Amino acid sequence: KAGVTQTPRYLIKTRGQQVTLSCSPISGHRSVSWYQQTPGQGLQFLFEYFSETQRNKGNFPGRFSGRQFSNSRSEMNVSTLELGDSALYLCASSWEGGGQETQYFGPGTRLLVL
Amino acid sequence: KQEVTQIPAALSVPEGENLVLNCSFTDSAIYNLQWFRQDPGKGLTSLLLIQSSQREQTSGRLNASLDKSSGRSTLYIAASQPGDSATYLCAALGDSNYQLIWGAGTKLIIKP
């Protein structure tokens, strides 16, 4: 069974631009969670989607948004990029989500904002 | 507010040694405690998940324990191998908001 895939793997943007990241979960998984990883703040929870609905949200500004499609694929969007948004963005999928079961992570998208 | 701490931040040991990684959390109201490893340039791999009602979980050479009353979890690695070199992260799932709060990780190097 194919693992979690994320595209693109690397991305360079400039301040003020917007970016969309994509995550394809393991087949059959309905939950997709997104995390931001930076050297200073470590790993932080962004949000979780389940059956096309945002089920949980971390403490990030509204510039960070996401959505989930009927095939469970998810996208994350960051608008008006800031230098501090440079990070590794990870998505994870699981059957029922909610953090109550094993999550399977993708390789991440490394975003650099100049 | 939940805070998760991992000590030490880095650890280097010779191959074959048994070792313990530590994770502490400030709020005992957790649903579970999870251990992951992260290899350079790769995502995270789930190692063990301990439910709040459990005391420990084992997988191969790995054993994780949980003591909610003291706010501590340990990951025991037996007979370490160079392939165990990675960053190990623990994360606590709050039992009300169901959000994982992560430690900063312990970077482990196993010397051949």
pLDDT, tens only, A59-72: 999 999 999 999 99
At A96 the pLDDT is 83
pLDDT for residue A1 is more than 80: no
Tell whether B49 lies on the interface with A, counting CB pairs under 8 A. Answer: yes
User: What does the alpha-carbon distance between residue B16 and residue B28 come to, in Å, rounded to a whole number?
Assistant: 34
User: Which residue reads 């050479």 in tokens?
Assistant: B61
CA dist A47 and A65 (Å) reads: 8
Work out the average pLDDT over A31-35: 96
Token pair listed for A100: 């109550």
Give, in degrees to the nearest 5, the angle at Cα B107 between A11 and A32. 45
Angle of CA points B88, A48, B1, to nearest 5° = 65
CA dist A21 and B19 (Å) reads 38
- pLDDT for residue B75 is more than 90: yes
Reduce the DSSP state of residue B84 to 3 states and report it. Answer: helix
Asked if residue A113 lies in contact with residue A83, where contact means CB atoms within 8 angstroms, the answer is yes
Query: A13-22, A36-45, B89-98: which range is least confident on average?
Result: B89-98
The token duo for A107 is 């390789």
Name the average pLDDT for chain A.
95
- The answer to whether the CB of B2 falls within 8 A of the CB of B26 is yes
Min Cα–Cα distance to chain B from A80, Å:
26
Residue given tokens 């030490």 in the structure block: B8
Count CA atoms closer than 13 A to A104's CA, side-chain side: 19
SS3 B22: strand
Whether residues A42 and B44 touch (CB distance < 8 A) is answered with no
CB contact, 8 Å: A26 with chain B? no
CA atoms within 13 A on the CB side of B19: 22
Q: Is A32 on the interface with B (CB under 8 A)?
A: no
Closest CA–CA distance from residue A66 to any residue of chain B (Å): 17
Q: Tell me, what DSSP letter sits at residue A17?
A: -
Q: What is the pLDDT of residues B30-49, one digit of tens each?
A: 999 999 999 987 889 999 99
Contact residues, chain A, for B105 at CB < 8 Å: 42
